[in-house]
A and B are shown apart, each in its own frame.
Chain A
Amino acid sequence: MKHLLSTADLDAATATEILDIATEMASVSGREIKKLPTLRGRTVVNLFYEDSTRTRISFEAAAKRLSADVINFSAKGSSVAKGESLKDTAWTLQAMGADAVVIRHPASGAPHRLAGWVSGSVLNAGDGTHEHPTQALLDAYTMRARMGRLDGLHVAIVGDVLHSRVARSNVLLLNTLGAKVTLVGPPTLVPTDLSSAVQVSYDLDAVLPQADVVMMLRVQRERMTDSYFPSAREYSRRYGLDGARLRRMPSHGIVMHPGPMNRGMEITPEVADSPRSTIVEQVTNGVSVRMACLYLLLGGRS
């Protein structure tokens, strides 16, 4: 595996292998010494064009636990802020000998472009409204850890699917791994022609009784001013997950959220803090999954 740009690039065997390796990595994280010598001498650059402390820290922890050297390159206060193009930045990273570049960028496809300009590996840490592959992998890891399987699982992804890179990566990966996906949200926020392999519903209450997993997406309040829905109150009444709705789910069902949450908007504190919620585990699992990805990208001959 040279790059990780999209979960569409992962076949079932490779995706499963990442989850399996992540399981091993997780056991390292439980040890007294949370460090492996695996990527000693390798350089990983975190190139972040968007503020995302959570994701950056997760990648940084993953790279450091594998003994890689980590360089954080944030767009703020750097030459990037002074208007340097992505291509020129790519050449700079190339000259610095970056073995892998972890890129977060507001423009869809920026990691694809970068991959054409650097010789090292490119890992997509979220690009515009396109994809966020490691988030989907950690979500799949969390589901497998909680439910024991992915094949045949029914996953409802609820909210602003249209603008969600998390949803896109999850739909592709979950399809590959045999789960059944239903997208739920107001028609303005669910693209109708996303894929024939997914189902679409506008009625959350109808979907919940069959859902093994409900994944709530963050809904940005600015969507309201763009007339995607009339008000936050109406949105949460129709598509928010509260205690009453949680009780409509099967008793084994779990609730996921990629964070950061809008408590009171798409999810109530009662649900977010319930034992059925996996939100904290998702953060923990993120480090293990990213370690597995870095190993697969950098652990062999380059």
Chain B
Amino acid sequence: MARPMTDESSDPAQQVPAQALSKIVLTAADVQRVVDRIAHQILEKTQGAGDVVLLGIATRGVPIARRLAERIRAFEGREVPVGTLDITLYRDDLRRNSIRAVGRTEEPPGGVDGRRVVLVDDVLFSGRTIRAALDALSDLGRPAAVQLAVLVDRGHRQLPIRADYVGKNIPTALSEQVKVRLQEIDGSDEVVLAAGVKDKQA
């Protein structure tokens, strides 16, 4: 009954050993600065984040959402509710891959109805993950508005989706991989651009 479980955001980081082919595009200090900036931008754009809830998309969107909440509290003393969203059951490519593990979905305290929901993810690529996240979100409730914050935008959109808050735009070739490592999951912070062996969609 053993069978491979795939979790796309973790496997490239662990399976590609080719240090020589990869380049660090954001260091730990860069990541921290970028998160600080997005937190400021959210505060600015939402007039103090009074109605904001942060919804981290599993897996790496979740710690980023928590950091943003922590920065907002540090800057303004405001508690922003944080939830997590696992979009596995909403993916449109389930039939193309072996079974995926299902992660946790936790509604933020107070729910999403009537709130300004900021979806948080690590990398914006084709836009399909965000499409699935919007479907999942609409099953959770009816937000007043939905925004999107990403650490990295690497281009190559396949759907009409754009981010409201972008940490860094990184132009990439389709064959390349953007790997985000975070302290909470991977033990350290950095973003690496690697020459990929296959066309992987995020």
Query: CB within 8 Å of B: which residues of A?
Result: 1, 9-11, 13-14, 17, 20-21, 24, 27-28, 31-33, 35-38, 66, 295-296, 299-302
Q: Identify which of residues 138-173 in chain B touch chain A, using a CB-to-CB cut-off of 8 Å.
A: 138-141
Complex contact B95–A301 (CB within 8 A)? yes
Roughly how many angstroms separate A300 CA and B100 CA in the complex, as a whole number?
7
Interface with A: B14-22, B86-94, B119-127, B185-193, which one? B86-94
Query: CB within 8 Å of A: which residues of B?
Result: 1-3, 86, 89-90, 94-105, 135, 138-141
Roughly how many angstroms separate A21 CA and B139 CA in the complex, as a whole number?
18
Complex contact B1–A35 (CB within 8 A)? no
Closest chain-A Cβ to B115's Cβ sits at a distance in Å of 15
Complex contact B99–A38 (CB within 8 A)? no
Complex contact B2–A20 (CB within 8 A)? no
Complex contact A302–B95 (CB within 8 A)? yes
Closest chain-B Cβ to A301's Cβ sits at a distance in Å of 6
Complex contact B2–A11 (CB within 8 A)? yes
Roughly how many angstroms separate A38 CA and B102 CA in the complex, as a whole number?
12
Closest chain-B Cβ to A50's Cβ sits at a distance in Å of 27
Majority-rule SS of B interface residues: loop
Chain B residues within 8 Å of A32, by CB: 139, 141
Roughly how many angstroms separate A37 CA and B98 CA in the complex, as a whole number?
17
Complex contact B98–A301 (CB within 8 A)? yes
Chain B residues within 8 Å of A301, by CB: 95-98
Closest chain-B Cβ to A176's Cβ sits at a distance in Å of 11
Roughly how many angstroms separate A21 CA and B99 CA in the complex, as a whole number?
12
Complex contact B99–A296 (CB within 8 A)? yes
Chain A residues within 8 Å of B103, by CB: 24
Chain A residues within 8 Å of B101, by CB: 17
Complex contact B90–A27 (CB within 8 A)? no
The answer, among B1, B97, B105, for a CB contact under 8 Å with A300, is: B97
A38 nearest in chain B by CB position: B89
Chain A residues within 8 Å of B135, by CB: 37
Complex contact A24–B97 (CB within 8 A)? no
Complex contact B95–A24 (CB within 8 A)? no
Closest chain-A Cβ to B183's Cβ sits at a distance in Å of 25
Closest chain-B Cβ to A213's Cβ sits at a distance in Å of 25
Chain B residues within 8 Å of A24, by CB: 86, 89, 102-105
Chain B residues within 8 Å of A17, by CB: 101
Chain A residues within 8 Å of B94, by CB: 38, 299-300
Complex contact A299–B139 (CB within 8 A)? no
Chain A residues within 8 Å of B100, by CB: 299-300
With a 10 A CB-CB cut-off, give which of A31, A295, A300 has the most chain B CB atoms: A300
Chain B residues within 8 Å of A11, by CB: 1-2
